[in-house]
Structure 1
């Protein structure tokens, strides 16, 4: 059967798949010491005996190799370190969301400025912003109004964002995608706190 894994389960699953001590099935193994030194190819029983004498676990790290590679290590400590690495990697991974700001072609100046401030806050949080112009009725016959409005938004957010996708017309909508300008994030946060 096919097994589907969530990203968070992958690291845990790899650790579970490692065979340890009595679960190793190979007859002959290539043994690697605790510090990475090669101890040579030997029968599995001899490798288990060496592990027992050193009070360590025998862990099969490369089961597909011929002969399979086993390493001497403290398995509990190894699992703990792997979990810590995984947790650190997850912590450093910033999820960027795509947020949307919707406008109409005949938006007033004050409303436009309010939408621009909202977009600026979203960009300061590190999210991408999709600016969408929604056309209704006969407004669709004047797409140049939408382009001008999007250009005005780009210019008003020039210090906070970089254009990721040019204006695209999809049905009755025209949109662009803006990504946060990395060097400006801290400066924008300070400006927002002041207002």
Structure 2
């Protein structure tokens, strides 16, 4: 981002604070106008001649660029997988609490791994519990694969829905 005195072009296509086009203006005149209005002169593209420049409130351009960088960095990162552990004999209130926790995590963009600890012949109950949770969380997440039953636990991973 090129601002104020760093703009080397002899003349610029000036766009005002409110988005109105002010036409082709010598760079010195545009800088004087920016100082008078207590705003920054920001060059949007060096590819065209004369380069389009915009009058933007002081610091707003830097803040917007910083915010854009932060958003790009956030989009690059893969979603974190958060684990929620349950038991097959869960009470209704506890079920609702775990469901709302999972919903909050999915809406925040993280994947959720739902794990149920199994003892003895609780496999069927665990599978039913996970199927119910997957159904209840369908509006904000979809399962990555089927429910895995293995020895002492049953698990399913839900990924956040896009959009």
Q: TM-score range by the shorter chain?
A: 0.5 to 0.7
Greater share of residues in helix: 1
Gaps of 5+ in 1: 1-17, 90-94, 103-110, 140-144, 181-195
Distance 1:25 1:80 in 2: 19
Contact 1:161 1:179 in 2 (8 A): no
Number of corresponding residues = 139
Q: 1:12 matched to which residue of 2?
A: none
1:73 aligns with 2:56: yes
Pairing 1:60-99 to 2, within 5 Å after superposition? 60-76=43-59, 78=60, 82=64, 98-99=82-83
Check the 8 A contact 1:59/1:73 in 2, yes or no.
Answer: yes
C-alpha distance in structure 2 between counterparts of 1:58 and 1:21, whole Å: 5
Contact 1:131 1:176 in 2 (8 A): yes
Residue range with higher mean Cα deviation, 61-70 or 125-134 = 125-134
Larger Rg: 1
Cα offset, 1:37, TM superposition: 1.2
Calculate the TM-score normalised by the size of structure 1. 0.49
TM-score (norm 2): 0.56
**Residue equivalent to 1:176:** 156
Alignment counterpart, residue 89 of structure 2, candidates 113, 118, 128: 113
Measured after TM superposition, the shift of residue 132 of structure 1 is 3.5
CA–CA separation in structure 2 for the residues paired with 1:127 and 1:72 = 41
Specify which of 4, 19, 26 is matched with residue 36 of structure 1. Answer: 19
Unaligned runs of 5+ in 2: 72-78, 107-111
Is 1:167 matched up with 2:150?
no
Counterpart position of 1:25: 8
**Contact persistence 2:127–2:154 (CA under 8 A):** no
Coordinate RMSD, CA, aligned: 4.4
C-alpha distance in 2 between matches for 1:62 and 1:130 = 45
Deviation of 1:153 after TM superposition, in Å, equals 0.6
- Say if 2:130 and 2:156, in contact at 8 Å, map to a contact too: no
